[in-house]
Structure 1
Amino acid sequence: MTDRGQATRRPPRAPMPRRRRKRWAAAAGVATCWALLLAMTGSVVAGTAFLLFLLALGAGCVVALRAMGVGAAHPWIQRVRSRPWRDGQEVLQLGLRHLPDVFVITPGGSLLAPNSVELRLNPREFGSLCELMDISLVNASASEVYQEQAAACGARFARPGAAEVWVTGDPSVPAGRYQLRQARPLDTASAFQPVRDSQLVPAGGWPYAHDGHTRGEPASAGTVVTGLPTVADRGQPPVPALRLITGDCVAETRMPGARAGRGEVELVLPGVPTVSREHARFTYADGQWWVTNLGRNGLTLNGVPLVGQRPVRDGDSIRWGSKADAPVSRVEVG
């Protein structure tokens, strides 16, 4: 007979996406400010009116800064985003807690964990970390934490073999911050032999990214390693290219899990108000591409509002927003 505790145990849940965590944090901040204003004014109407005034003032400042060309890549914003009071150990611990952010949700609802993850730190924090301990020990400890988190979340790894986390330094990372990416570390590059008629080409300006044109295999194994959260046999065709043609703008990717929007994403769309910073996510599974809405403005696939996850095919049209003047992209596959 099955144990009652095992029968009633809930299945592991996927970690909350980073975007959703930010929204909850913003909602908590607004609620806290409203409570403080209510305590200061002693009136619900006055506290609410003052809160709305502060929100309108903040929105006006954001619009004015964008009109002046002050965006996410501006040096002012980079200095604001930095956390110089954090040392290397604090940033490392923060990054390890958020390792599940790299998990990919498949169309079937299961979690897929990449075998190789790169945790990037600012060179200052990375240097201070190397002064305290050997970086190989840091990588080994981080890999153990990653495997424990994958087991706790019920995620399966993309390919056989041990999971690895590589801690590196990157000047583009602000002080006190970190970046998580799926990667094939440089340390293991010598262990891979290039497949015939293939060529290693960086994608998107990131030297560890995989553009879908290359495949490699370990010298002592027969499994093809792509560095992405997919597993392919030697005879299986590569992931077809996905192109979004929006007027004169063309965005292309072969990376499953690629995001589309006007922010720092893999598929960059025109920077119009109806397009969110992260508007959609494209995954490749069961031999076809799938799209999931991430934006607040919604999107339509072939004129039908997108709900959940739907397959996209060559010739489909995607409207980025519900308004009639929202941009429309034509999908090309292959």
Structure 2
Amino acid sequence: MARHPGGPTVDGVVMARVVVTGGAGKLGRACVRDLVDHGWDVVVFDRARPESPTAGVTYLPVDLTDYGQVIDAMLGVEERYHQVDALVHLAAVPAPGLVPDHHTFSNNMLSSWNVISAARRAGVLNIVWASSETVLGLPFDVPPPYAPVDEEYPPRPNSTYSLVKTLEERMAVELCRWDPELKMIGLRFSNVMEPADYQRFPAFDDDPRLRKWNLWGYIDARDGAQAVRLALASDLTGTEVFIVANADTVMRRSSASLLAEVFPDVEVRGELGEHETLLSIDKARRMLGFDPQHSWRDEV
């Protein structure tokens, strides 16, 4: 039977089970904790294991480039679980330039195809995956078409990593065309941060060009986890992509002054708040109810 639950509900209903790939990573750890806190039964597929595993979570060392392992684990593991209701796919080589380009492409593209294909064959219709802010044209050596940037202009991949993310978004469109009941939500995460990372933020003010590559954006891992949970709970069908960033920038300077100095010829659309993000989260707010709760300004 195809399963497309929006997640845990009420009145003693058995909680839904979600596979989180890459659950040992920075964003993955936050997502796992958040989903458990909100009643999900979580299974993690990751070759690594976090130093502090979350209680009650099933951790499986799955090589996502091996389809046999992926489909086997997606269909259930004896004495541990027997079905999967949803998928959150976060696992990947996480940025450009970390490994040779061919490895980035082959690992990330094959892993995504294996995991999504296995989920569909297991009857899963509720899929959320990590796309990336990089599809917006990062590192913005060519200025963005306007600011704040949003989901309205076509992807502009400038790296092998970003190319894969763009292809994943296109793949999702076609898979949802094949199956109108399928839901695939791509979250274009900004640069993921944890509270320990915030101590270095004040130094960014010394040179605004140091962080121009992503329009001074970031996403607190806890707020990234919120976006994942809301995407799972959404009753949307088909493919949607959302920019997921925090509501402010990494800078103490105003957003308007940053654009005026670094991107003086870029059209500014609308009125900007003093530190308002230049990676627009309006769509995520409107359609998912996304509401960032954490700011580096509260930690430093």
Compute the TM-score of the two structures, normalised by the length of structure 2: 0.28
Bigger relative CO (Cα 8 Å, ≥ 6 apart): 2
Higher helix share: 2
Compute the TM-score of the two structures, normalised by the length of structure 1: 0.26
> Over alpha carbons, which structure has the higher Rg?
1
